[in-house]
Amino acid sequence: MALETGSSKSARPDSRRAILQAGLLRRRAELRTGWHGLVTAECLKHLGSTAAKVVSFLSGQDAFRDWQTEPGLQWVNCDASLQECLISIGVGENIACWGSTAAPTALSCADLKKLSVKHRVEALCVRYRCPLNIGAESESQVAEELLRQLMVADRLKLEAEVEFDVDDVLLKLNLTAVCARMKSDVRFLDALNYFYELPQRSLARLQRNPFLLASWLCIYAQLLCAPDW
């Protein structure tokens, strides 16, 4: 991968963060001018009034707004849709959310694996209507499973240029991006780096869902500017 986010044997521990940060900011500079190849003019038409926010953010200067929830909150609710929340996170807007008295019934990895792709997308959309909940401690196993799917089955499909479910992959990329920051886990960031570095012909298929594509790129752009990886 072009971005070396792992530990370098030759780099002193105190310099690894600086090396990583410099690499991420270079990627952000590339994304600032290269996003047009993914979020095309046709995609922007589908985004409607949201398009201006996406264009302004992706083309703008380095910006990061943390989306961590308040300490002690185990689960949060919101009135906005999942799509609205993801775009808001991506462009640095506040999400109106509040603590819930109880989390929903646990979702096991075994149950998640049993679902068809269609039903998995539906279940994830309902459970993570407020996507900040993917970072909850109770969701750690689900987050790990989504990461595993991206980096095993999904990456193979995109590399081989075989058919895949765009909504499924993009939803997992968005949730993984949100989780990357909430857990400060470089493995999740590495997955985003990998997918962004895929050939343009592979990524072009993600344009079938302009909203999830735009939110993923915006959240990814924010992660590249996060100060404390």
96: CB partners within 8 A, 6+ apart:
78, 79, 80
Query: Which residues does 169 contact at the CB level (< 8 Å), separation at least 6?
Result: 150, 154, 158, 206
Say what the pLDDT of residue 189 is.
Answer: 97
Query: 7-17 pLDDT, tens per residue?
Result: 445 556 668 88
Q: Which stretches of the chain score pLDDT less than 70?
A: 1-14
- pLDDT for res 69: 82
User: Are the beta carbons of 217 and 43 closer than 8 angstroms?
Assistant: no
- Position 10 scores a pLDDT of 59
| pLDDT attached to residue 74 | 85
